[in-house]
Amino acid sequence: MTAGIIVSVFIFGLIIGSFLNVVIYRLPEHQSIVFPASHCPHCGKQIKPYDNIPLVSYIMLRGRCRYCGEKISLRYPAVELITGLLAAGLFIKYGFTVDLMVFFVLSAGLIAITFIDIDRMIIPNAISYPGIVLGFASSFFVSTNNPVSAAIGILAGAGILFATAFIYKRVTGVEGMGMGDVKLMAMIGAFLGWEAALFTVIISACIGSIAGIFLVVFAGKGRKHAIPYGPFISASAIVYLFYGQTLITIYLRMIGYA
């Protein structure tokens, strides 16, 4: 495995990240992700190809539109960089395999969902529904999943989260999470299987609890302040892709089952 190949995969990830920025911006607005060409959200000027090079153009333009001078959100290079790093990381872990292609598709979907949820507090069905179907179909080909595990993962992931949300609302009278989170868990279960679904539910709950405590204690937010849960679910699924089996093995050894 040469550094040149890894760099090439990283650059490919940057390009996909640039496309994800379009998805993140346009999908919640019900706009086409193909037409029109990329344009400045402030002045509407079409962005030239040389101003649309992932990461490089942002640096060269010093984070501002060439035409109107308005600031370009730091989110754009952040999404590109995250996607590039994930592409390179997945390649290093899985090599040129079907697993790599499937998990990169999943990762790209999770990145888009994360930033849409942060911006709009929604998880689009246009990503999660096809994701469930594609994830289950991929279980016939990847080495780390199978159709039975995928089916159980869909039911377990969505079922646990739905039950948790239902009980929380009945007890507190507050909407704890939306159905978008439930569908997202079904998608992750389809792609990664039941073990990953359980892992993601547990880890996302831990991360979400820590974030909630931080908001209450340090940010002065009330208990009823809504925070998007999709990013915690997505981050937990990414952790599983890289370290899930290792962490599960460590846990089982700690409790004497491995």
Residues 179-224 pLDDT 10s: 999 999 999 999 999 999 999 999 999 998 888 787 777 666 655 6
pLDDT band at 167 (very low <50, low <70, confident <90, very high): confident
Residue that is last in its domain, among 65, 96, 127? 96
User: What does the pLDDT read at residue 71?
Assistant: 93
**DSSP SS3 for 57:** helix
Q: Are residues 84 and 103 in the same domain?
A: no
116, 171: one domain: yes
For residues 183 and 147, state if they share a domain: yes
Domain boundary among 96, 114, 135: 96
Are the beta carbons of 182 and 165 closer than 8 angstroms?
yes
Same domain, 182 and 64: no
Do the Cβ atoms of 193 and 153 come closer than 8 Å?
yes
Whether the CA torsion 77, 78, 79, 81 is positive or negative: it is positive
Does 110 share its domain with 233? yes
pLDDT 10s digits, 63-121: 999 989 899 999 999 999 999 999 999 999 999 999 999 999 999 999 999 999 999 99
Q: What is the mean pLDDT of residues 146-161?
A: 95
Q: 137 with 248, same domain?
A: yes
* Cα separation, 258 vs 255, whole angstroms: 8
- The per-residue pLDDT for 214 is 79
Q: Distance between CA 14 and CA 65 in Å, rounded?
A: 20
The verdict on 83 and 124 lying in the same domain is no
What local confidence, expressed as pLDDT, does residue 108 receive? 98
pTM over 0.85: yes
Looking at the DSSP assignment, which residues form a beta bridge with residue 250? Answer: none
- Asked if 60 and 133 sit in the same domain, the reply is no
Q: Which H/E stretch holds residue 230?
A: helix 230-254
Q: Is the peptide bond before 228 cis (omega within 30 degrees of 0)?
A: no
Q: Which of 83, 32, 78 is nearest to 55 (CA)?
A: 78
* Number of neighbouring beta carbons within 10 Å of residue 167: 11
Chain-centroid distance of CA 74 in Å reads 18
Is residue 125 located within the same domain as residue 77?
no
Q: Are residues 101 and 204 in the same domain?
A: yes
Regarding whether 130 and 101 lie in a shared domain, the answer is yes
Q: Residue 185 sits in which domain range?
A: 97-258
Q: Which of 96, 118, 139 is the endpoint of a domain?
A: 96
For the chain, percent of residues with pLDDT exceeding 70:
94
Number of domains in the chain: 2
User: Hey, what are 41's tokens?
Assistant: 């959200």
3-class DSSP state of 255: coil
Please determine, for residue 225, whether its predicted confidence score (pLDDT) is greater than 90: no
57 class by beta-carbon count within 10 Å (0-12 exposed, 13-18 middle, 19+ buried): buried
Q: Are 79 and 71 in contact (CB under 8 A)?
A: no
Q: Are residues 144 and 205 in the same domain?
A: yes
